Amino acid sequence: MNDLTDLTLTETLEALDNKKISEEELNRAYQQKIDNLNPILNAYLYICQGSSGIPYAVKDVIVTEGIPTTAGSKILEGFIPPYNATVIERLSYHNLRIIGKTNCDEFAMGSSGENSAYGPTKNPWNLNKVPGGSSSGSAVAVSAGLCSFALGTDTGGSIRQPASLCGVVGLKPSYGRVSRYGSIAMASSLDQIGPITKSVADARLILSWIQGEDGYDNNAVSYSNIKSQTKKSDNLSGIKIGVPKEYFGKGLDTGVESAVKKAISKMEELGGQIIDISLPCTEYAIATYYILMPSEVSSNMARFDGIRFGTDRDNFGQETKRRIMIGTYVLSSGYYEDYFIKAAKVRTLIKQDFERAFEKCDVIVGPVSPTTAWNLGAKMADPLAMYLSDAYTVPASLAGIPSISLPCGFSDGLPVGLQILGKYLDEEKILTIAEVYEQSTEWHKMKPTVDMS
Amino acid sequence: MKRYEPIIGLEIHVELKTLSKMFCGCSADYFGQKPNSLTCPVCLGLPGAVPFTNAQAIQDCIKIGLALNCQIAENSRFERKNYFYPDLPKGYQISQYRWPLCTNGYVDIEDSQNQKIRIRINRVHQEEDTGKLSHLDGITAIDFNRSGVPLVEIVSEPDFREVEQVRIYAKKIQQIFRYLEVSEADMEKGNMRLEANISLREAGESKLPEYRVELKNINSFKFMGDAIEYEIKRQQELLEKGEKITQHTRGWNENKKETFVQREKEEAHDYRYFPDPDLLPLKIEKLEEIRKSLPELPEQILKRLQSMYGLSYYQSQLIVSERFLVDFFEDAVSLGEENKISAVDVANFLINKNVDINKVSPEEVISQITFKKSGIISDTSALREVVKEIIKENPQAVADYKSGKIAVIGVLVGAVMRKTESKADAKIVKELISELLS
pLDDT digits (tens, 9 = 90+) for B68-100: 999 999 899 999 999 999 999 999 999 999 999
Contacts of A215 in chain B (CB under 8 A): 52
Host domain of residue A276: 4-445
How large is the average pLDDT for residues A220-244? 86
CA distance A428 to A435: 11
Is pLDDT above 80 for A239?
A: yes
Q: Which residue of B has its CA nearest to A183?
A: B48
Work out the minimum CA distance from B212 to partner chain A, whole angstroms. Answer: 21
pLDDT digits (tens, 9 = 90+) for A361-408: 999 999 999 999 999 999 999 988 889 899 999 999 999 999 999 999
Please state the length of chain B.
438
* Interface touch A307/B53, C-beta < 8 Å: no
Neighbours of B314 (CB within 10 A): 11
The pLDDT of residue B111: 80
Asked whether residue B154 falls in the same domain as residue B259, the answer is yes
Q: Which of B332, B358, B374 is the last residue in one of the domains?
A: B374
Looking at the complex, does the CB of residue A216 fall below 8 Å from at least one CB of chain B?
Answer: yes
Neighbours of A254 (CB within 10 A): 8
Q: Which of A183, A299, A333 sits opposite B48 (nearest CB)?
A: A183
Contacts of B278 in chain A (CB under 8 A): 185, 188, 217-219
Helix A254-269 and helix A427-439, axial crossing angle in degrees, nearest 10: 90
Work out the minimum CA distance from A215 to partner chain B, whole angstroms. Answer: 7
Is pLDDT above 90 for A197?
A: yes
Contacts of A70 in chain B (CB under 8 A): none
Helix A342-357 and helix A285-300, axial crossing angle in degrees, nearest 10: 130
* Interface touch A219/B47, C-beta < 8 Å: no
Q: Is residue A176 part of a domain?
A: yes
* Interface touch B84/A305, C-beta < 8 Å: yes
Of A34-48, A145-159, A437-451, B388-402, the range with the lowest mean pLDDT is B388-402
Host domain of residue B323: 296-374
CA distance A392 to A385: 14
CA distance B282 to B280: 6
Q: Which residue of A has its CA nearest to B83?
A: A302
Asked whether residue B98 falls in the same domain as residue B132, the answer is yes
Contacts of B279 in chain A (CB under 8 A): 218-219
Work out the minimum CA distance from A398 to partner chain B, whole angstroms. Answer: 13
Contacts of B269 (CB under 8 A, 6+ apart): B83
State the first-to-last Cα distance of chain B, in angstroms, to the nearest integer: 85
Q: Residue B2, CB half-sphere, CA atoms under 13 Å: how many? A: 15
Work out the minimum CA distance from B63 to partner chain A, whole angstroms. Answer: 23
Q: Which of B47, B273, B277 sits opposite A184 (nearest CB)?
A: B47
The pLDDT of residue B266: 64
Q: Which residue of A has its CA nearest to B277?
A: A189
Neighbours of B353 (CB within 10 A): 13
Asked whether residue B357 falls in the same domain as residue B285, the answer is no
Asked whether residue B199 falls in the same domain as residue B301, the answer is no
Asked whether residue B221 falls in the same domain as residue B312, the answer is no
Contacts of A223 (CB under 8 A, 6+ apart): A177, A425
Residue among B383, B344, B346 nearest B363 (CA): B346
Distance of CA A111 to the CA centre of its chain: 11
CA distance B156 to A88: 47
Give the number of domains in chain B. 3
* Interface touch A63/B274, C-beta < 8 Å: no
Whole-prediction pTM: 0.90
Rounded to 5 degrees, what are φ and ψ at A192?
A: -145, 140
The pLDDT of residue A74: 97
The pLDDT of residue B422: 75
Asked whether residue B336 falls in the same domain as residue B208, the answer is no
Contacts of A92 (CB under 8 A, 6+ apart): A84
pLDDT, mean over chain A: 96
Neighbours of B281 (CB within 10 A): 13
Give the number of domains in chain A. 1
Q: Is residue A132 part of a domain?
A: yes
Burial of B331: CB neighbours in 10 Å, binned 0-12, 13-18, 19+: middle
Contacts of A336 in chain B (CB under 8 A): 272, 274
Q: Is residue A144 part of a domain?
A: yes
Q: Which of B336, B358, B374 is the last residue in one of the domains?
A: B374
Q: How many CB pairs under 8 A join A and B?
A: 106
* Interface touch B50/A305, C-beta < 8 Å: no
Work out the minimum CA distance from B12 to partner chain A, whole angstroms. Answer: 26
Of A63-77, A151-165, B310-324, the range with the lowest mean pLDDT is B310-324
CA distance B330 to B326: 6
Catalytic residues of A: 59, 134, 158
Q: Which residue of B has its CA nearest to A218?
A: B52
| Residues lower than pLDDT 70 in chain B | 1, 266-267, 374-375
Q: Which residue of A has its CA nearest to B273?
A: A331
Q: Is residue A451 part of a domain?
A: no
DSSP label of B40: -
Looking at the complex, does the CB of residue A83 fall below 8 Å from at least one CB of chain B?
Answer: yes
The pLDDT of residue B349: 86
Cα–Cα separations (whole angstroms), residue B329 to B297, B298, B367: 16, 14, 14
Q: Is the ipTM of this complex over 0.85?
A: yes
The pLDDT of residue B421: 75
CB of A251 closer than 8 Å to CB of A388: yes
Q: Which of B292, B325, B359 is the last residue in one of the domains?
A: B292
Cα–Cα separations (whole angstroms), residue A153 to A51, A54, B233: 27, 21, 60
* Interface touch B91/A299, C-beta < 8 Å: yes
* Interface touch A216/B50, C-beta < 8 Å: yes
* Interface touch B92/A302, C-beta < 8 Å: yes
Q: State percent of chain A over pLDDT 90.
A: 93
Q: Is residue A370 part of a domain?
A: yes
- The alpha-carbon radius of gyration of chain A (Å, integer) is 20
Asked whether residue B220 falls in the same domain as residue B188, the answer is yes
Q: Which of A69, A302, A340 sits opposite B274 (nearest CB)?
A: A340
Work out the minimum CA distance from A73 to partner chain B, whole angstroms. Answer: 12
Residue among A389, A451, A31, A434 nearest A197 (CA): A434
pLDDT digits (tens, 9 = 90+) for A167-193: 999 999 999 999 999 999 999 999 999
CA distance B116 to B118: 7
Q: Please state whether the peptide bond connecting residue A440 to the residue before it is cis, i.e. omega within 30 degrees of 0.
A: no
Give me the sheet containing B116-128, strands edge to edge.
B71-72, B102-110, B116-128, B150-156, B4-15, B192-202, B213-218, B248-253, B258-264
Is pLDDT above 60 for A311?
A: yes
CA distance B106 to A103: 57
State the first-to-last Cα distance of chain A, in angstroms, to the nearest integer: 27
CA distance B29 to B15: 10
Residue among A374, A432, A439 nearest A407 (CA): A439
Burial of A148: CB neighbours in 10 Å, binned 0-12, 13-18, 19+: buried
Looking at the complex, does the CB of residue A307 fall below 8 Å from at least one CB of chain B?
Answer: yes
Contacts of A77 in chain B (CB under 8 A): none
Q: Which of B53, B89, B272 sits opposite A331 (nearest CB)?
A: B272
CB of A157 closer than 8 Å to CB of A134: no
Work out the minimum CA distance from A328 to partner chain B, whole angstroms. Answer: 8
Asked whether residue B37 falls in the same domain as residue B140, the answer is yes
Supply the CATH number for residue A274's domain.
Answer: 3.90.1300.10
Angle at B286 between CA B281 and CA B291, to 5 degrees: 115
Asked whether residue B257 falls in the same domain as residue B132, the answer is yes
The pLDDT of residue B274: 97
* Interface touch B46/A309, C-beta < 8 Å: yes
Asked whether residue B138 falls in the same domain as residue B231, the answer is yes
Q: Which of B82, B278, B282, B283 to mutate to test the interface with A (most CBs of A within 10 A)?
A: B278
pLDDT digits (tens, 9 = 90+) for A12-59: 999 999 999 999 999 999 999 999 999 999 999 999 999 999 999 999
Confidence of residue A1 (pLDDT cuts 50, 70, 90): low
Asked whether residue B244 falls in the same domain as residue B362, the answer is no
